[in-house]
Chains A and B, each alone.
Chain A
Amino acid sequence: MALKRIIPCLLLRDNGLVKTVRFKKSTYIGDPINAVKIFNEKEVDELVFLDIDATKEKKEPPYSFIQDIATECFMPFCYGGGITTIEQIRRIIASGAEKVCINTSAFTNPGFIQEAAKVFGSSTIVVSIDYKKNLFGKQFVFVKGGTKSTGKDPVSYAMEMEKLGAGELFLNSIERDGAMGGFDLETLRKVTDSVSIPVVVCGGAGELNHFKKAFKEGQASAVAAGSFFVFQGKKRGVLISYPNAEELKEIIKQ
């Protein structure tokens, strides 16, 4: 078994690092490159960067910033935000990222995932699935930064994305984002039981035990978190942290 991964997920807004709650209320955390340096020293498994305004503002990916990350980052990282073309992916990879994360375009243009997987190999293409419940308690996948419903349920959407060639799924519960109350294990398990590609779960991590449960009960290949790695204590003071070697061993124990 590949070792289970624990991934800090860093949100970008106006070249700064922020953290959201339920995809809203963003708090400024600091300079992203500084965060990368700290995470690199802590030997984290992997990093994910998501520009949360890129789609809305139709922004071109910040290639030189991605290069800056790559110079400080001796670990794999994934970049997501506003990606719509093969050429953009080519430049992101050339700038030093291992993977790209695609959200909105996967829905609006499924053929894009197919083509991207063909050109770059599935292992480069991560599809992120943001989902939340509607008023009647039924779950739907949302795109455009959680603002537009696709009308699709996360499990069948996940299977569809696998079929198109996605190499990994980034499953993100909008309601649990920043809440630190634990992952949505039920949906996670339904997805991991339905696809054979790795699933990264995000949204809700607040303590080490949440990671453990996501691996054991949810069968996640990786867990991602934002708040957990950047906030400390009840007042959510900014302090970057990562489990130490002992804690890691305990979390990923199978």
Chain B
Amino acid sequence: MITIVDYKVGNLGSIQNMLKKIGAKSDITSNPDKITSAEKIILPGVGAFDSGIESLKKNGLWEILNEKALVEKVPILGICLGAQLICDGSEEGNLKGLGWIKADVKKFDFKDITFKIPHIGWNYTYLNKESKLFTDMYEDPKFYFVHSFYIDVKDDSSLTKTIYNHEFDSAFENDNVLGVQFHPEKSHKFGMKLLENFVLHY
């Protein structure tokens, strides 16, 4: 059973749809008690950093998520804003992030206007290290991105790099804590394989 954390930001149905296609059971919940018993967690989300953090706190999820990630070491996959919230903080806001990995979230800022912001669309990922998340992945994996802020990992948890004017960390993995900037649930077979790997191998 995968527990999808609902903190009232964005579109959770698509993630559940893809998990269903893979054959994995999932539960969308904002109930801290249900998260207490979660075995595997997806932290999704779209929108602004501070409103995401505030929303986690307002829904009473902050403590329990920290407990699950840091003490119980349950596998947690952050997606898009969910991945950014796992970092220390963001140039988009003033609030502190969950800080489970050493990373900052920075704003894309290009002189070259041929690089549009947000970075919307499909892009390739390049693996930095071995990971079960990419087991049997199809060749030239590409994923769907929509973001104006990017993750800059400071420790050794960077998992994949993606190039958009410059390199940035498009996925990270540190023990049980994983995050992807892109949307696997919207990335056809590539995303399906990645989520399947999260379901099977973690």
Within the complex, what minimum Cβ distance (angstroms) separates B188 from chain A?
5
Known interface pairs A71-B17, A74-B187, A123-B146; A98-B122 also in contact (CB < 8 Å): no
Question: Is A93 a contact of B11 with CB atoms below 8 Å?
Answer: yes
Checking B13, B165, B186 against A75 with a beta-carbon cut-off of 8 angstroms, the contacting residue is B186
Answer whether residue A221 sits at the interface, using C-beta atoms and an 8 A cutoff: yes
Q: Assess whether B118 is in contact with A122, with CB atoms less than 8 Å apart.
A: yes
B191: chain A residues at CB < 8 Å are 74
B48 and A121 form a contact (CB under 8 A) = yes
Residue in B13, B122, B187, B189 whose beta carbon sits within 8 Å of that of A2 in the complex: B122
Pair A43/B115 contact, Cβ less than 8 Å? no
Q: Compute how far the CA of A175 lies from the CA of B145 in the bound complex, rounded to whole angstroms.
A: 32
Write the chain A residue with the least CB distance to B51.
A119
**Chain B contact surface mostly:** mixed
* B47 contacts A168, C-beta separation under 8 Å: no
Q: Using a Cβ cutoff of 8 Å, how many contacts connect chains A and B? A: 97
Given known contacts A2-B145, A74-B186, A75-B186, A221 and B116 CB-to-CB distance under 8 angstroms: yes
A182 within 8 A of B: no
Interface size class of B (residues with CB under 8 A): 35 or more
Nearest chain-B residue to A95 (Cβ)?
Answer: B13
Contact of B148 among A45, A75, A120, A123 (CB under 8 A): A123
Once the chains bind, are A98 and B116 in contact (CB under 8 Å)? Answer: no
State in angstroms the CA–CA spacing of A45 and B183 once bound together.
Answer: 13
> Binary interface profile of B, 133-158, with partner A (CB < 8 Å = 1, else 0)?
00000000010111110000000000
Q: Does B34 reach chain A (CB closer than 8 Å)?
A: no
Given A3-B142, A76-B183, A94-B13, A196:B120 Cβ within 8 A: no
The interface residues of chain A lying within 8 Å CB-to-CB of B165 are: 1
Q: How many Å from the CB of B142 to the closest CB on chain A?
A: 7
Task: Determine whether B200 belongs to the interface, using a CB cutoff of 8 Å to chain A.
Answer: no
State in angstroms the CA–CA spacing of A71 and B18 once bound together.
Answer: 8
Among residues of A, the one whose C-beta sits closest to the C-beta of B110 is A196
B185 at the interface (CB under 8 A from A): yes
Q: In the complex the two chains form, is A221's CB within 8 Å of B120's CB?
A: yes
30 contacts between A and B (CB under 8 A): A1-B114, A1-B115, A1-B165, A2-B122, A2-B145, A4-B121, A46-B144, A67-B13, A70-B13, A74-B21, A74-B186, A74-B188, A74-B192, A75-B187, A76-B146, A76-B183, A93-B11, A94-B11, A95-B13, A96-B14, A97-B11, A121-B148, A122-B148, A123-B148, A196-B116, A196-B117, A198-B116, A198-B118, A219-B114, A221-B121
| Chain B residues with a Cβ under 8 A of chain A | 10-11, 13-14, 17-18, 21, 46-48, 113-124, 142, 144-148, 164-165, 183, 185-189, 191-192
Query: Beyond A2-B121, A197-B117: 9 further Cβ-contacts under 8 Å?
Result: A43-B189, A74-B21, A74-B185, A94-B13, A167-B120, A196-B117, A198-B120, A198-B121, A222-B121
